Amino acid sequence: MKTYNQIIMPTPEEKLNEVQERFNKNVAKAQQLEQEIARLKTELNGLQQPLIEDQGAIKTLKQIVEPVEQPA
């Protein structure tokens, strides 16, 4: 039969396993997040040129569509 301390206190090996498992999960999560960030940066970079082009098109189209003020 286990004593009170054996039931409550984890052994050093159990503590090591617990910490190692938590570490491994955190490393895996960090790697997953780094991959997601890289994917999102690539997606963002892909939007830069279309945004610039659309911005220019909007400016040009506004000049065509909006009436030009006539001097009084």
pLDDT average, residue stretch 39-48: 97
Please check whether residue 69 lies inside any domain of the structure. no
Residues contacting 10, CB < 8 A, separation 6+ = 18
Q: In which domain, by residue range, is 16 found?
A: 9-62
Burial of 10 (0-12, 13-18, 19+ CB in 10 A): exposed
Say what the pLDDT of residue 17 is: 97
Please check whether residue 28 lies inside any domain of the structure. yes
Give the pLDDT confidence of 6-30 residue by residue, as tens digits: 678 899 999 999 999 999 999 999 9
Question: What are the φ and ψ backbone dihedral angles of 9, each rounded to 5 degrees?
Answer: -90, 125
Query: How many domains is the chain partitioned into structurally?
Result: 1
- Tell me the pLDDT band of 4, cut-offs 50, 70 and 90: low
Please check whether residue 58 lies inside any domain of the structure. yes
Please check whether residue 1 lies inside any domain of the structure. no
Question: What are the φ and ψ backbone dihedral angles of 25, each rounded to 5 degrees?
Answer: -65, -40
Say what the pLDDT of residue 6 is: 60
Statement: residue 42 has pLDDT above 80? yes
